[in-house]
Amino acid sequence: MMRDPDRLIGDFWRKAAGLRAILHVLASICIVATGNSLLTTTVSLHLSDPAIDPHVVQLLLTAFPIGFLGGCLSARFLVVRFGHERAFQIVSLLAAFGAGGYMVTESAPVWFCLRLINGFSIAALFVVSESWINLYADQKNRGTYFSLYMLMTSLATLFAQLLIEAAGPKSPHLFQLVLAVILFGLVYARFVGGPWPTLRLPLAVTVDASNVHSGSRFGIWRLAALAPVTVVCVFQSGMTNMNVYTMTPIYAERVNLDAAVAVTLVTAFSLGGMLAQAPIGWLSDRMDRRVLLLLQGLAAAGLCAAIAWPGMRPQALLYGLFFVYGSVALTIYPVAIAYANAQLDSRHMVSASGSLLLLYSIGNIMTPGLAAQLMEQFAPQALFLLLGGGAFLVAAAACFNLVRRPIGAAKPCLVSGGCE
């Protein structure tokens, strides 16, 4: 049966209006995230100085994940106390303060505290942004909006690298550049972009303040009971992102590839993920997300097996495999988050965002050591066998969710606005 053309046009303009309403929010996120990414890279460049004691470097590196953990756990309180928009501005100001501190002194204890602030601000920025987008979106466009958000964070990483290339990795003004970018994002968010659109439900309803101080959280175990596929996907995404970006240069060196080739492989991986965000988000709003995650898990596992397959292959083919792998692996996270938030009551979304981001950071921190050990004991290709195993677990978890809750079956509806 054909739909009324006037109704189709009306639906299109309503969706376009909703998207236009959050463009300045996405722009604010992109600018501040660019500054945070630029700061992380700048600190890493300074810590690569061989004159710095390796034990000091290791101590400073541990500060970031500690701060990140604190940001995951604290962002909910900031949202309840100040609301999403003001919490975003406070976190941005805190990030600017931390960036300015690096220009004052090179004292290791002070840098440890600044790294704590850096990790805290990035985690809180992500939790505030993700929870607001999930609350603003509805069931029909959550995947699209979240993929646009992921596109902004991908662009932020790309812009940060371009700024470092333009200024020069050894420039003495990198910290000033970081501070300028973050302050620009803060000024844009506060004075240029305008107020954030009103949520469908008031904050007092979406975040139950009476439960915040009682310790009530929608933690990882409750998420695992509700949407096990999301828990597996988020951990696997943290594992994949960290290992591809940090271990690919080591993999390339051990399979006799040039350093320039390793850089191109990582770039191809990133570009694939960035370009696939919007199409996958659009697709996830139009089919069962569990089926999509099943297909993504199987595809990612197959691509990892193809990359790890022994033997020589043309570099162009390897670039193509990394590009397609990035387009699959880097889009699992937004689809999984959209699926989980489609199952949640609105008041749990902020807490759930913090718990999922915490799980993502655990995947970031725990698995590179395991990957390095497997590569040392067996072969460099063990890196992608490990990542392929994680992708296969995504497919298995999606199957479990489908069997437990078949397509079209009634589900225990925790969602105030409807069920998927």
Q: What is the dihedral of CA 355, 360, 363, 368, to 10 degrees?
A: -140
Q: Give the 3-state secondary structure of residue 170.
A: coil
Task: Provide mean pLDDT across the span 47-71.
Answer: 78
DSSP 8-state secondary structure symbol assigned to residue 347 = G
Q: What are phi and psi of 417, to 5 degrees?
A: -105, 5
The Cβ of residue 184 has, within 10 Å, a number of other Cβ atoms equal to 16
The predicted structure's pLDDT at residue 337: 84
pLDDT for residue 311 is more than 50: yes
Confidence check: pLDDT of 394 > 70: yes
CB 344 within 8 A of CB 414: yes
Rounded CA-CA distance 330/229 in Å is 16
Under 8 Å between Cβ of 231 and 223: yes
Residue 293 predicted with pLDDT over 90: yes
pLDDT, tens digit, 9 for 90 and up, residues 87-138 = 999 999 999 999 999 998 888 899 999 989 988 998 899 888 888 887 787 7
**How far is the C-alpha of 395 from the C-alpha of 414, rounded, in Å?**
24
Alpha carbon distance 96, 374 (integer Å): 39
User: DSSP string covering 57-107, please?
Assistant: HHHHHHHHHHHHHHHHHHHHHHHHHH-HHHHHHHHHHHHHHHHHHTTT---
**pLDDT tens digit sequence for 216-261:** 456 677 777 777 888 899 899 888 887 887 678 778 878 888 767 7
**Per-residue pLDDT tens digits for 314-335:** 888 989 999 999 999 999 988 9
Least confident of 17-31, 93-107, 169-183: 17-31
More confident residue, 293 or 372: 293
* Cβ(33)–Cβ(156) below 8 Å: yes
Higher pLDDT pick, 239 / 303: 303
What pLDDT score does 209 carry? 40
Separation of alpha carbons 419 and 413, rounded Å? 6
Evaluated on CA atoms 354, 357, 363, 366, the torsion sign reads negative
pLDDT of residue 287: 87
